[in-house]
Structure 1
Amino acid sequence: MSIFQLRRTGLLNHSLLNEDQVMVRKSLQSACRGRPRVRSCQCWTIATVLAALWLYLSFGLWVYYFRDIGDVRLVSRNIEAHLVVLPQDLADETGAYCLDGSPPAYYFRNATSREHHNSWIIHLMGGAWCYDNAQCAHRSSTHLGSSRKLRPKKLFGGILSSSSKVNPDFYDWNVAVVNNCDGASFSGDREDPVISNKKKMYYRGSRVLNAVINYLLKSAGLQRADRVILHGESAGGLAVLLHADRVSRMVPKETSFKAMADGGFFLADEADTSGKTQWKSAMENVYKMQQIEGGLDKDCLLAKEKNKSECFFAQHAYSYLTSPVFVVNSVYDSWTLQNILRTRCRPSKCNEKDLGVIEKHRRTFLQRMDQVNRYDKNGMFLASCYAHILTCVDSPWMTYKVAGRTTREAFADWYYERTTPAETWDVDCDSSLTCNPTCRSN
């Protein structure tokens, strides 16, 4: 038995100790004989110094992470969000399944101030799409098709960060990050499951979105929300443009509701370097395969009666969106250049043929984006950076600038109406592919 263990017994009577314990205690007493005793005042002095040092270090760490200003706690570090998986019986009741049949899930982090106790950011995750049954079968075995593959905790950046240094305007809000597990921008609505590669799959992304929002309303406090931002990136950004009005109708009527779509404005009518519109054909196949019609805007479907699949593309769905929305995109979106235009070079290093395709894309993109200017309630931030996501990653959120404002400043100014409508349409320089010095190397 060690000294520490003996001392923890709290026993003073030898009769209550076994023989080994008595021998240990006697040896300790013998070892202490002849040593000068430390005066009690010296002990108190040492203890006081150690306590003061401990308090100093603890207070220093506390100050580093938190500072109280009025009613708001400023958090200087990012905090992980925790995974919430919807109950299986709820998934069974609503038919809201991920591709593999698992329940929907989201990551959640509570607000860190009383001021924004009822302020919410609901984020729709990206992750591209699966264009046929075989791809969806593969996807169903990953975190993009199953809630069973998700980590219990996760950090998020940019507008989803809880760091006041990174995200000064929204760091202390409630955050719910909805997992993308359907491969169709939360739009699939197919009743019967599909078998592919011996895997049963469910194309139910529209029901997944409904189930998560309803669960947040009933179980997480969303029903008391006074502010809601629906946000998404990439395929989730497209989902925002497709479903913002639906989510707006689900939250309380008195709630201030606005949306932001980051890197989700993909064009339907662009040819790649071979002259083919392969991505458009692939997305039309997703539309048919997942029976997406039921999950799209009814007014758009009525107007596009002869070609309803157009309502699955941002450039067509946008004009039917009534919710206030802020569009963030790069004119030289790296995912678009690589996967839709099929270029295999950074813009500054492309050959003449690829540069021609890229410049044509820029002109077409700006023409399609001009419709944002027709709505005073909406805004946009279009950078000339070779990048895909600008609002969920710390660096572009904090440092990329257009018209003298960073991404986060432009959005916050629009959201809090600190600028006029005309001042919220930020379009980057067009003199060259490297005209914006705040971009990482193009």
Structure 2
Amino acid sequence: MSLLWVAGFLLCVRWAHGTEYWNTSEVASVNNGGGGSSPLLVGLTLIQSAAAKHAVCLDGSLPGYHLHRGYGSGANSWIVNLEGGGWCNDIKSCAFRKTGHHGSSYYMEKQIQFSGILSNKPEENPDFYNWNRVKIRYCDGGSFLGESYNEAAGLYFRGQRIWLAAMEELLSNGMRDASRALLSGCSAGGLSTIFHCDNFRALFSSSTNVKCLADAGLFLDSVDVAGGHTMRSFFGDVVSLQGAGRYLPRTCTARMDATSCFFPQNVVGNIQTPLFLLNTAYDVWQLQQSLAPKTADPQGYWKECKMNHANCNSYQLQFLQGFRDQMLNAVKEFSSSGKNGLYINSCFAHCQSERQDTWYASNSPLIGNKRIATAVGDWFFDRSQVDEVDCAYPCDSTCHHIVFRGRV
């Protein structure tokens, strides 16, 4: 598998004129702040109690989180954000992963920027700016679900224990008495949010308003451009290697195999806690790594299309419209529940809640006249029911599309 699986999909370098330019040779992520104001940098806290619980990163180091305290009307409200960053599916990729910040706290940034849904500025994050906001770092490679150990390689697959240790730490730091709580995450963190949503609800009393937001976590069990099942094979390896099957929702594993239950389309319909799904209909991560990976496109027929949607020919666009149809069909029953929320825009992008320019800014993406932040706030506070599905590409001129430069 490509190391892009290991490194995740967080390699942004420049934004201009509604298009995001990414370079896969870079290893930095840049978020645009609002109005040029100073970014909020939040320090890393390691979970010291995790060692005794063997709740450790891939390399055995302590897991960690970043917490910025709320104030005023938000002092008793909490957002817990699960970091994303791909997965590792075999010993080689996991051994590589543990040499970076997605596998070891030794390599984690001591401070990270909070923006988008984690911003502390009302003009950037109108509904959640003064809440307690937490980002839990992702260092297990299995969407906080693993429970295994490979002695020969010295790899700890302890995602489930990290989840429990982090929750215990936050509960002891005031979250236990929260009046409102929102679990969120993007990409692999969005997938984690779906899996742990009902577990998160169970941490609180019945008086706490608890909901979940999964951003770019709707990974589909799709057929790739060669007629194969790249994503199913990859997820199957992750589940098997990490022993994640035992922690997948029982409502799914009672009727399907564990690999099928790692796909959210087979899980979301049975989640009891209110859940909001935010996704792009043409998710560029899935286009790159699930639909048209190099293994399914050895001649590079899809290369130009993958790098820039404007280069897709009519057949390729038809294929991608079929992917969009599959996504909409997968959430049809889910969206019919009044407690859930849905926002699927027709952009070539991936992750929109943690970036300021796509979350809430003067030129943020819209469906109708509604920005993503407004839709999520309306749903959480029950101001209105949110079931927003964009018209098909290319009708949406508000998108911040991602275009790649360099090797893909």
Q: TM-score range by the shorter chain?
A: 0.7 to 0.9
Deviation at 1:92, TM superposition (A): 2.9
Deviation at 1:251, TM superposition (A): 2.9
The correspondence for 2:44, drawn from 77, 80, 83, is 83
Q: Secondary structure at the match of 2:114?
A: coil
Determine if contact 1:332/1:386 at 8 Å carries over to the other structure.
yes
Residue 352 of structure 2 is aligned to residue 402 of structure 1: no
The correspondence for 1:326, drawn from 273, 276, 280, is 276
5 Å-filtered alignment, 1:335-346, equals 335-342=285-292, 343-344=302-303, 345=305, 346=308
Separation (CA, whole Å) in 2 of partners of 1:350 and 1:329: 21
Q: Name the counterpart of 1:286.
A: 238
Determine if contact 2:58/2:156 at 8 Å carries over to the other structure.
yes
Q: Name the counterpart of 1:154.
A: 112
Higher percent of residues as helix: 1
Separation (CA, whole Å) in 1 of partners of 2:110 and 2:343: 34
- Say which is worse superposed, 231-240 or 274-283, in terms of deviation: 274-283
Q: Name the counterpart of 1:276.
A: 228
Q: Name the counterpart of 2:195.
A: 242
Separation (CA, whole Å) in 1 of partners of 2:125 and 2:51: 38
Determine if contact 2:185/2:215 at 8 Å carries over to the other structure.
yes
The correspondence for 2:248, drawn from 296, 299, 308, is 296
Q: Name the counterpart of 2:30.
A: none
Could you report, residue by residue, the CA deviation over 1:239-265 in whole angstroms, capped at 9, with x for unpaired residues?
A: 111111111112343221011000000
Could you report, residue by residue, the CA deviation over 1:303-336 in whole angstroms, capped at 9, with x for unpaired residues?
A: 22xx232111110111221110111000011111
Deviation at 1:441, TM superposition (A): 5.0
Separation (CA, whole Å) in 1 of partners of 2:343 and 2:366: 9
Determine if contact 2:260/2:266 at 8 Å carries over to the other structure.
yes
Q: Name the counterpart of 1:440.
A: 400
Residue 162 of structure 2 is aligned to residue 208 of structure 1: yes
5 Å-filtered alignment, 1:101-250, equals 101-111=60-70, 113-190=71-148, 192-196=149-153, 200-218=154-172, 220-250=173-203
Determine if contact 1:82/1:154 at 8 Å carries over to the other structure.
yes
Deviation at 1:154, TM superposition (A): 1.1
Go from structure 1 to structure 2 and tell me whether the alpha carbon gap of 1:164 and 1:78 turns closer, same or farther (over 3 Å shift).
Answer: farther
The correspondence for 1:253, drawn from 206, 218, 235, is 206
Could you report, residue by residue, the CA deviation over 1:81-131 in whole angstroms, capped at 9, with x for unpaired residues?
A: 1111011xx2232121110001111011111x2211111000001001112
Determine if contact 1:78/1:162 at 8 Å carries over to the other structure.
no
Determine if contact 1:271/1:341 at 8 Å carries over to the other structure.
yes
Amino acid at match of 1:412: G
Deviation at 1:148, TM superposition (A): 1.3
Q: Secondary structure at the match of 2:74?
A: coil
Q: Secondary structure at the match of 1:108?
A: strand
TM-score, length-scaled by structure 1: 0.77
Separation (CA, whole Å) in 1 of partners of 2:151 and 2:314: 45
Amino acid at match of 2:248: L
Separation (CA, whole Å) in 1 of partners of 2:374 and 2:51: 43
Identity over aligned pairs, percent = 33
Q: Name the counterpart of 1:392.
A: 354
Deviation at 1:77, TM superposition (A): 5.0
Residue 330 of structure 2 is aligned to residue 368 of structure 1: yes
Could you report, residue by residue, the CA deviation over 1:375-408 in whole angstroms, capped at 9, with x for unpaired residues?
A: 1100111100111011110111121101220001
Q: Secondary structure at the match of 1:438?
A: coil
- Say which is worse superposed, 164-173 or 229-238, in terms of deviation: 164-173
Which runs of structure 1 show a deviation greater than 4 angstroms over 4 or more consecutive aligned residues?
Answer: none
Q: Name the counterpart of 1:71.
A: none
Q: Name the counterpart of 1:317.
A: 267
Separation (CA, whole Å) in 2 of partners of 1:92 and 1:390: 34
Deviation at 1:182, TM superposition (A): 0.8
Q: Secondary structure at the match of 2:143?
A: coil
Q: Name the counterpart of 1:348.
A: 310
Q: Secondary structure at the match of 2:40?
A: coil
Q: Name the counterpart of 1:26.
A: none
Separation (CA, whole Å) in 1 of partners of 2:207 and 2:269: 24
Separation (CA, whole Å) in 1 of partners of 2:141 and 2:151: 14
Q: Name the counterpart of 2:379.
A: 414
Separation (CA, whole Å) in 1 of partners of 2:123 and 2:43: 22
Q: Name the counterpart of 2:217.
A: 264
Determine if contact 1:80/1:109 at 8 Å carries over to the other structure.
no
Structure 2: runs of 5 or more not aligned: 1-36, 293-301, 403-408
Q: Secondary structure at the match of 1:169?
A: coil
The structure that has the greater radius of gyration is 1
TM-score, length-scaled by structure 2: 0.83
